[in-house]
Structure 1
Amino acid sequence: MKKVILSLALVAIATGAFAQKKVVSSAEKNFKKGDLEIALTEIDAALENPETKDNPETPLLKARILTKKFGLDSTNVMSTVETGRSALAQFTKAMEMSGNDKEGKIGKEVYKEEIPDLPENFKPYSMSTLKNETFNKAAVSYENEDMEMAYEFFNLMTEIDPTDTSSAFNTAFIANDLGKFEEAKKQFKKLIEVKEYNKLSSYYLLIQIISAEDKDPEEAYKYVTRARADYPEDKTLSEFEVQLLLQMNKMDEAMASVKAALASDPNNAGLLLRYGYLLEQSGDMDGALVEYKKSVVADPNFFEGNYYTGAIFLEQAKTILGKINDLSDDEWEKNAPTMTKQAEGLYAEAVPYFEKGLSLRPENVEIMEILYNVHVRLKNTAEVEKYNKMLVAKLGADWMEK
């Protein structure tokens, strides 16, 4: 009697296991037919059942079902991303259950390459498929100027394939544009650790984020130092180095750095501007003016060079006018006319630099006001009226009172 009961129990167990395998088999058939919701319901049941949940082929099948569902979803919204991320989780689970053996049966299925333009029935619905579909969605979102979703899909690609440097850069670049600076830094920092990767652009953007957004010039300088070791001939990094040293008030180091950089790149407008600034800060206004003017010669359309050159002329003119006010009556009678003429000459020299600056930035109200006041000083009535009209158009009739 005991043998009969035992036999019946074994039959029941075998029948239960067979039933669960039938559920998995049905899920696979529905997957192939495209009845994905039914297939998901069936495979979820199999993942709950003790007879089938520990078989790595079960999460693998769910991953394939989700990958197919992900590819067919053209809405390209966050729920689409989550479907893709769920597929990735199931692929990962299948690999873990099979000892992460890429050469084993499961591993070969998970990482099976997808040949482009395969008919749907021949697609492997592997990690390769998932990555390709994710890239397509990222590209479509980007073309549609949906930067938020482009970021999400490119970010998902970095999770699917952490070695894909293009996806990492795209994720970081878009994150930076969206103001997701922590996410951008994470990807850029990952990229600069890749030995064979051309990481110069990643260095540029990472340094700018840390300097401008984090306002941490010391940390940014560490990355500049590292970047210059990797790319010693890069001129932009030399400019970054000088700029950061200035932010840290390390004038001596900045002066040494800018001189060294200019020795190999004497016509670099940005470096010439910074050299001029250092000279200005040290009190050498004449030397600063020379360097600012050089920066404009190097690049006539360099806004900062034109602005700083004009500003030096104005500062020199104001200094002379200040000295006139300090003259005694006798000295005033003797020297004031000559000194006034000298100051007016400096005002006149500033004009073309500010005019060029305004042509480069036509909406710059500050330069309009400077030119208005300079022409008032020079008694250029037509020019005064010209800039007054511009300022009225921008700021209103009472702009002088604001």
Structure 2
Amino acid sequence: MKYVVFILVFFSSERVISQDLISVASTFLNDKNYIEAKSSIDEAFEKTTLVDNPGAWFMKARIYHEILLSNDRNLEQFKQNRNEFVGTIVEAYNKTIALSVRTSNFNVLAKNQIEILWAYGINEGQRLFQAQAFDKAIEAFEIAKITKPSESRAYISTAVSALYAGKYQLAIDNYLAVKDIDDLPRDGYDGLILAKRNLRVSDQELLEVVGDARFDYPNHVPFIIEEVRTLIRLDRLDAAESVLNTAVKRNPNDARLILRQADLFDIIFKDAYINGEPERSERYFEMASTNYERFLNRNALHFAANYNYAVMINEQANRVYTRINLMSNEEYEMRGRESEEIGHDWTRKALPYMEKAWELKPGDTKVMQALEVFYKRLKLDDKLAALNGN
């Protein structure tokens, strides 16, 4: 019986001591003496009697929370592992919630403090991001991530900050983390694709990411174009054409798809000729021409379309000139000049598009070199002199 009394007295006295330490910690907290407040609450938690006390957990959370927000350099010693420190705060608030009834003050206050801590991480991160302090913004967004790990916003914000900081793997990790808890938004896929590109992953790996983006957003034109570009780099021209044909059927008036299809047909036009398929090459030339002209009728000031169309037409001229160069003297006498005129006709057709490209981007080296060739072929000496500043 004496042992039982002793045990009861021991635990009773331990509980009283713990409660006294909590009161002392509360007093120090009110006085903003955070070092002593932390020391008191840590000492109180060395007593096993507090593990089921929501008030004690709440007091611990509040003291640690205030230390986190304080700019006092003397408190930095406690925050050397910032994420771990934030985790301790969140754990204490969650313990408060778990150990108290839903309608109690401790329960309500702890839930409010969780929201406040999360909002602090988000707002501080946004402030630092706007100030272009991207590394510090990442640290701030980590607070929000730890506070509410199932909330996707902090992961997205961390990923964007990591992109701007050049930390591409970190960006990828956070974008992928979003996919584990929520749908990745379109701009999230944009960032994920950009990060993968900057890490110079293989085109096959990039295609897998683009495929996921297309699965979630099948009609988003930029993802369609990204998939086509990647397939082209993988030399999967048939697959690229299939993707584009389907997209154009669904969006027949989308100028971006019309131009991308023209560019693809242009590539196949050249590829088929190299592979000894002249009829296929000519068929794709006609298809590409139709799309280029359709696009330029509505977008006459598009530099790349003008330049690429001119180069494609000039490829037809070059093929004629190449055949002429391979002629014997006898063959040249019979049909050489006639063939030259065919080549010149192709050059004449290409010329206005290349001149428009020059008008849109005067001084472009590639355009200037092309125009010099065109003017010499067609003996347009005045234009050649003007081009060279004479």
Report the TM-score, using the length of structure 2 for normalisation.
Answer: 0.75
Give the aligned partner of residue 318 of structure 1: 318
Match of 1:257 among 218, 243, 247: 243
Gaps of 5+ in 2: 274-280
Aligned: 1:180 with 2:167? yes
Cα displacement string for residues 164-219 of structure 1 (whole angstroms, at most 9, x for unaligned residues): 33333222233233333333233333444566x57233334334544664534444
**8 Å Cα contact 1:98/1:106 also seen in 2:** no
**SS state at 1:175 partner:** helix
Task: State the AA in 1 paired with 2:272.
Answer: S
Q: CA deviation at 1:375?
A: 4.6
Tell me, in whole angstroms, the C-alpha distance in 1 between the residues paired with 2:71 and 2:360: 47
Summarize the Cα distance change of 1:247–1:164 in structure 2 as closer, same or farther, 3 Å threshold.
Answer: same
The answer on whether the counterparts of 2:159 and 2:172 sit within 8 Å (CA) in structure 1 is yes
**C-alpha separation between the residues in 1 aligned to 2:117 and 2:355?**
56
Q: 2:34 aligns with which of 36, 55, 59?
A: 36
Fraction of identical pairs, as percent:
21
Shift of 1:251: 2.6
Q: How does 1:146-225 map to 2 (within 5 A)?
A: 146-192=133-179, 199-210=185-196, 213-225=199-211
Say if 1:194 and 1:132 are closer, same or farther in 2 by CA, change over 3 A.
closer
Which residue type is aligned with residue 45 of structure 2? L
User: Aligned residues, how many?
Assistant: 370
1:381 counterpart (369, 381, 384): 384
Amino acid at match of 2:90: F
Greater shift, 8-17 or 159-168, is seen at 8-17
Paired with 1:74 and 1:310, the residues of 2 have a C-alpha distance of: 67
Q: Which residue of 1 aligns with 2:276?
A: none
Whole-angstrom distance in 1 between the partners of 2:240 and 2:121: 46
- For residue 282 of structure 1, give the secondary structure of its aligned residue in structure 2: helix
Q: Which amino acid aligns with 1:61?
A: M
State which of 6, 18, 21 in structure 1 corresponds to 2:19: 21
- 176-185 or 353-362: bigger deviation: 353-362
Give the whole-Å Cα distance in 2 for the aligned partners of 1:193 and 1:282.
Answer: 44
Partner of 1:69: 67
Q: Quote how far apart the aligned CAs of 1:384 are.
A: 3.7
Query: How many angstroms apart in 2 are the aligned matches of 1:96 and 1:179?
Result: 38
| Cα deviation 1:283-335 (Å, max 9, x = unaligned) | 42522333333333343454442332122133222222212211221332454
TM-score (norm: length of structure 1): 0.74
In the alignment, the residues of structure 2 paired with residue 208 and residue 331 of structure 1 have an alpha-carbon distance, to the nearest angstrom, of: 55
Query: What CA distance in whole angstroms lies between the structure 1 residues aligned with 2:106 and 2:200?
Result: 43
Which 5+ residue runs of structure 1 have no aligned equivalent?
114-125, 389-402
Structure 1 vs Structure 2 CA RMSD: 4.0
Letter in 2 for 1:45: E
Taking the aligned partners of 2:100 and 2:213, their CA distance within structure 1 comes to: 38
Which letter maps to 1:178?
Answer: A
- Pick closer, same or farther for the CA change 1:28–1:74 going to 2, 3 Å: closer
SS at match of 1:305: helix
What is the one-letter code of the residue matched to 2:126?
A: A
Change (3 A) 1:39 1:362: farther
Does structure 2 retain, via aligned residues, the 8 Å contact 1:192–1:202? no
Alpha-carbon displacement from aligned partner over 1:79-115 (angstroms, at most 9, x marks no partner)? 98954751333322553587577838597256433xx
Corresponding residue number in structure 1 for 2:272: 282
**Structure 1 residues 53-62 or 133-142, which shifts more?**
53-62
Q: Secondary structure at the match of 2:124?
A: helix
